Amino acid sequence: MLSRVADSLYWMGRYLERAENVTRLLLVTEDFSTETQGLAEDLAQTAWKDMLTIFPSAQLTRDITPFAPLAVPYLHAFFTDQANAYSILVSIRKARENARSVREALTLEVFLALNEAFRALEAYERKGMPDLPAFRDALSATHKGIFTVVGAIEHTSTRDEGWRFLKLGESFERSYRSALVLRTKLPALLAAEARGDAPLYYTQWRTLLRGLSSLENYRRVYGARLEPNLVIGFLLFDADSPRSLRYGASIVRDYLAAISGPAELTAPARIIGKLYADLRYDDEAQMRRGDFAGLLDRVVGELAKTHDAIATQYFVT
Amino acid sequence: MPEKKAFDEAFDGRGTARQHYRPLVSILESFTQSEIERRERLQKLSLMDQGITFAVYGEKEGTERIFPFDFVPRVIPALEWERLQAGLVQRVTALNLFILDVYQGQKCLKDRVIPPELVLSRKEYKRELLNVIPPRQIFTHVVGTDIIRNDAGDYLVLEDNCRCPSGVSYVLENRNTLNRVFPEFFKYYPVRPIKDYPTLLLDTLLHAAPRFSEKPVVVILTPGMANSAYFEHSFLAREMGVVLVEGRDLIVEDNYVFMRTTQGKQKVDMIYRRVDDDFLDPLTFRRDSLLGVPGLMNVYREGNVGLANAPGVGVADDKSVYAFMPALIRYYLGQDALLPQVQTYLGARTQDFVYIQEHARELVIKTTGDSGGYGMLMGPFASKKEIEAYLAQMKRNPGNYIAQPLIELSAHPTYVDGTFEPRRIDLRPFILYGESVRVLPGGLTRVALRPGSYVVNSSQGGGSKDTWVLAAKDG
């Protein structure tokens, strides 16, 4: 397939996944900040500021006004602000631009669903959001719209090379963004243990799991009790959870192998393969060592290298 | 009201529906106003959702508009179409022979059927392609010929588009839309299907491919997403199942064309290019072109890649060559032209030039190279000042201008702002030159949506209609 088309599909996958991640994080953070701002405003503030670390170079364009809820400037910036490179509207617009430039490589259903999601976001931007409930409604509807696109891809795409590049982009973005969420939030959360405000402490762990859409999956494995070590183990090393780092590395590795053919070992496949081996076979030692900040730095770094190697291998010919 | 003089497609002089429009008129009369409005809303929504849009030049980058679609179909009876079709096949056959002659032998110029300077001085004439003859001697693989009807209802050829005629995707999508939104219409009419156009187009392209490849690889070359016809390029690629490439996806090596793929380079045999000659190859034509492929023309000259339409066909689109078409048809085919065309005065001819100067107020004056309704003067609607300015410009290079009397385009009932009103229309049938010359039944009917307007171009406020050719009654 054309390198340009593969490149566009890869990025379409990345932007779609990114839009879904932003939507989910906004919904979860909004919940958290509403729940905690009266109790511990600093925690609520940190939760929002984390968005700017998870999505580096994202920008707030509205001032934080004294009496407005904390969430408002962040929701504005990350929902439909065209000036913020990480807003949902910008991600969906870019996904659609990529789709438009390779329209013949997609099914009509996928294109229709994506077009509809984009037009809905444009309408939200035009109308503006009067209050938090309006944001919440619109974000939930957007979440569904994105899942409709993902579902259309799942149900109508032929499993050819183009599909594999799209899925590669999607799974890469998921792993990379999950690693950034963990790197941003985990060290602070571990340091907070001493505070001893138990209900609030567990709310934070629960929010971390929800932010990575893993709360229910965690409960299925370990029950309702939130043990920090179990949560960390689950988010980093679980074999089946779609957002654990180990699973993410394995799936990126699998799509790369499907693209190159199992016999060929490409540069990106080597990098991701080594990372996967670490996460798969070194899990117990890592848990004992407890240097999660160091581990997460390395994961983020290796993933960034994988992306560069993918681009060199396939998009620049 | 200029509409009064125009030939009305649907109603005769006494206001009675013509035979082939009667069922349609009764169906439309059976709808309530609110029902029609509901259907119209459905139809607009469906176009926007499907992203059937065209890009508009000069507006913010990436601007997309829907091409307005009018749901009242144009109906062409079988016999009328048969005559049109025969005329189009004859015309395209002659056009191809003319282009072949221009690039090999130039007999028609030596025999003075057409003044040589008229052809050789055009920028569309590519001297560097002299004696470069494409496979099977076909230059004009896809032609869109613009047809109008005068006040007597006669079909006249207005112009030939041998370069990159666009619009066929709207023909196919208009039919889809009408099928979905007004299924009732189709119950009483034997409408000839058009859905196999992509198959016919692919056959045409495969037929024209260089013969060294057992399974020729066909691609469509597009200038890219910002082009006004990008939707069509992508649509045709999808419908034919071929790869849509941009210039940057192709490279030339060892005198072959390759596309850059994730598995390395892959050879390309046949290019349906939707990029103008001047942008095809920066080494041969325009140096500043970023749309083309450096070295492409050399590969074409060697016969190692096919191009549709062949480069250099633009000579036949020239508006002054048009004036000689009846003579050229007689010259190459020994036949009279089956389709009449519009009387044309040439700026290059002294007595015509004088006539144009004296009668500018009654004439439509056009530059020979432009299309899309750009660069023309509508004498009957222009102010004295505008006419004088235009004539002064023309004086500097009369050879670049032609003039024609204003033809009353036929009018067709069109749904505008809640009522049915007559609006002027034209017709662009699509002709494919493969193993034989075939015409897609119908074509693109464009409609001037502004009252009184003659300008049907999509870039200037035009819309389109579904065009029905009825099947002959007994087979």
- Name the domain boundary from A157, A187, A222: A157
Q: What is the pLDDT of residues A274-301, one digit of tens each?
A: 999 999 999 999 999 999 999 999 999 9
Segment B378-405 mean pLDDT: 91
Nearest chain A residue (CA) to B264 = A317
> Do both A58 and A191 map to the same domain?
no
Q: Residue A272 falls within a domain, yes or no?
A: yes
Nearest chain A residue (CA) to B225 = A101
Nearest Cβ partner for B262 among A1, A111, A115: A1
Residue of A3, A104, A165 best to disrupt the B interface, most CBs of B under 10 A: A104
Segment B268-294 mean pLDDT: 87
| pTM reported for the whole predicted model | 0.84
Torsional class of B375: left (φ above 0), alpha (ψ -120 to 50), beta (otherwise): left
> Do both A22 and A116 map to the same domain?
yes
pLDDT at B1: 37
Give yes or no for a contact between B329 and B320, defined as CB atoms under 8 angstroms apart: no
Q: Residue A80 falls within a domain, yes or no?
A: yes
- pLDDT of B58 over the 50 cut: no
pLDDT at A131: 87
Amino acid, res. B449: L
> Do both A9 and A147 map to the same domain?
yes
Nearest chain B residue (CA) to A259 = B262
CA dist A62 → A59, A66, A237 (Å): 9, 12, 39
Give yes or no for a contact between B102 and B119, defined as CB atoms under 8 angstroms apart: yes
How do B53-55 and B401-405 pair as beta strands? unpaired
Both tokens assigned to B191: 């409408």
Into how many domains does chain A fold?
Answer: 2
Q: What is the pLDDT of residues B126-171, one digit of tens each?
A: 999 999 999 999 999 999 999 999 999 999 999 999 998 999 999 9
> Do both A153 and A176 map to the same domain?
no
> Do both A217 and A100 map to the same domain?
no
pLDDT at A193: 65
Helices (H), B209-253: 230-240
Segment B201-229 mean pLDDT: 90
pLDDT at B121: 87
How many whole angstroms separate alpha carbon B160 and alpha carbon B91? 9
Domains and CATH numbers, chain B: 2-342+433-469 (no CATH), 343-406 (3.30.1490.270)
Work out the pLDDT band at B61, boundaries 50, 70, 90. Answer: very low
Three-class DSSP category at B163 = coil
CA dist B284 → B128, B148, B179, B188 (Å): 9, 37, 46, 55
Q: Residue A60 falls within a domain, yes or no?
A: yes
Give me the DSSP letters along A255-276: HHHHHH-TT---HHHHHHHHHH
Q: Residue A163 falls within a domain, yes or no?
A: no
Q: Which domain holds residue A211?
A: 171-317
Q: Are A4 and B248 a contacting pair at CB < 8 A?
A: yes
- pLDDT of B60 over the 60 cut: no
> Do both A146 and A234 map to the same domain?
no
> Do both A194 and A229 map to the same domain?
yes
- Name the domain boundary from A157, A181, A204: A157
How many whole angstroms separate alpha carbon A31 and alpha carbon A34? 5
> Do both A176 and A76 map to the same domain?
no
Shortest distance, CA B235 to any CA of chain A (angstroms): 7
Both tokens assigned to B110: 């030596």
pLDDT at B48: 61
- pLDDT of B39 over the 70 cut: yes
> Do both A147 and A194 map to the same domain?
no
Q: For chain A, give the mean pLDDT.
A: 92
Q: What is the pLDDT of residues B302-354, one digit of tens each?
A: 999 999 999 999 999 988 899 999 999 999 999 999 999 999 999 989 999 99
Residue of A82, A94, A97, A103 best to disrupt the B interface, most CBs of B under 10 A: A103
Q: Residue A166 falls within a domain, yes or no?
A: no
> Do both A216 and A102 map to the same domain?
no
Work out the pLDDT band at B49, boundaries 50, 70, 90. Answer: low
Q: Are A4 and B260 a contacting pair at CB < 8 A?
A: yes
Nearest Cβ partner for B225 among A100, A111, A115: A100
Enumerate residues 6+ apart whose C-beta is below 8 A from A198: none
Work out the pLDDT band at B17, boundaries 50, 70, 90. Answer: very high
Nearest chain B residue (CA) to A162 = B262
Beta bridge partners, B402, equal B346, B366
Token pair 């997460």 is at which residue? A296
Please tell me if residue B50 touches chain A, with a CB cutoff of 8 Å: yes
Q: Residue A162 falls within a domain, yes or no?
A: no
Q: Residue A137 falls within a domain, yes or no?
A: yes
pLDDT at B68: 85
> Do both A241 and A136 map to the same domain?
no
> Do both A217 and A143 map to the same domain?
no
Q: Residue A31 falls within a domain, yes or no?
A: yes
CA dist A296 → A51, A280, A301, B216, B257 (Å): 17, 15, 8, 51, 46
Where chain A has pLDDT below 70, the residues are 64, 66, 193-197, 317
pLDDT at B459: 65
- Name the domain boundary from A112, A132, A157: A157
How many whole angstroms separate alpha carbon A79 and alpha carbon A65? 18
Which residues of A have a CB under 8 Å from any CB of B? 1-6, 97, 100-104, 108, 111-112, 115-116, 119, 161, 165, 259, 314, 317
Which residue, among A46, A21, A25, A32, has the nearest Cα to A188 in the 3D structure? A46
